[in-house]
Amino acid sequence: MTAATTPHGEYSFDNNDVEAADRHNYLGAMLDDLTIERLSGLGNLAGKRFLEFGAGGGSIARWMVDQAGPTGRVLATDINPRHIRTYPGLEVLEHNLVTEAVPEGPWDVIHGRLVLLHIPQREEILRRLCGSLAPGGVVVLEEWETSFRKLVLAAPDKESAALFDLYHDTLVEQILPAKGNDPTWASRVHSVMIEAGLSDVDTTIVARSWPGGTAGALLIEANIGQLREEFLEAGMTPNQLDEICRLVHDPRLVLRGHFTYSTIGRRRQA
Ligand SMILES: C[S@@+](CC[C@H](N)C(=O)[O-])C[C@H]1O[C@@H](n2cnc3c(N)ncnc32)[C@H](O)[C@@H]1O
């Protein structure tokens, strides 16, 4: 199976880990409504050529197939595509955005969600993606801005709230940046798209509450499962990690979800 490595780091949440299927289900539950609203706002999608990169579980790629219809095309790529279920009309490609050229287009719609924030070469990749757009085609990037603190909206007690602050700071200030993640990328996408020559650049920003027992809170359990060694090396204790994994099931805990920046930019007509 593909090693999720890049020349400058290692993708933080390997699709071979046992938690990966849950991760993709949680992300779909949290974000598919927003993504579908944004893509639907592009107008009639029948016959369009879609590239869904870093497709993860593939829920958006399957939705694209239904929109594109028999005259369109949808290609879903991932460095490790094992969780993309087969679907009539969906093409799937094992593909590394860092080391390989953008799959041959041109593309009318290119979408990537929570992919480039993990990849140090994000700006160069975005420029290459823009170069593979058909005239009038769009790039849609959806990313989490995680540099904001104050993650806890409600908690059973102060000690529990403090644990989540510690978890968040450890993850976004130490562990993920060491693997090439940029917690501020989401809020930079808009200007980077303008610099790349795209027009009509538009950003929508959304954050929801994540009560214990729902996808957003449960994602934290998957994060700790996949990065447990890194959390321990960063100084958190096994008891703290276990307590967080217990609390994410407690509905008295309510977290402020990460701000999702959904940014669309269009290549000018020739
Ligand atoms: C956080 S998941 C997001 C999945 C999906 N886009 C979603 O939002 O539900 C990031 C995905 O990007 C993929 N990925 C990471 N590095 C990649 C690379 N260099 N090229 C292509 N895909 C990559 C991972 O394997 C993973 O499936």
Which residue's CA lies nearest to atom 17 of ligand 1? Answer: 79
CA of 26 to the centre of ligand 1 (A): 14
pLDDT of residue 16: 86
pLDDT of residue 12: 79
Task: Report the C-alpha gap between 78 and 59 in whole angstroms.
Answer: 13
pLDDT of residue 261: 98
Which residue's CA lies nearest to atom 14 of ligand 1? Answer: 54
Which residue's CA lies nearest to atom 12 of ligand 1? Answer: 54
What percent of the chain has a predicted confidence (pLDDT) above 90?
Answer: 90
Which residue's CA lies nearest to atom 13 of ligand 1? Answer: 54
CA of 39 to the centre of ligand 1 (A): 19
pLDDT of residue 182: 94
pLDDT of residue 8: 36
pLDDT of residue 165: 96
Helix (H, G, I), strand (E, B) or coil at 142: strand
Which residue's CA lies nearest to atom 1 of ligand 1? Answer: 114
CA of 94 to the centre of ligand 1 (A): 11
State how far Cα 136 lies from the chain centre. 25
CA of 159 to the centre of ligand 1 (A): 34
All residue ranges of the chain with pLDDT < 70 are 1-9
pLDDT of residue 14: 86
pLDDT tens digits, one per residue of 153-198: 999 999 999 999 999 999 999 999 999 999 999 999 999 999 999 9
Q: In degrees, to the nearest 5, what angle opens at C-alpha 108 toward C-alphas 103 and 111?
A: 70
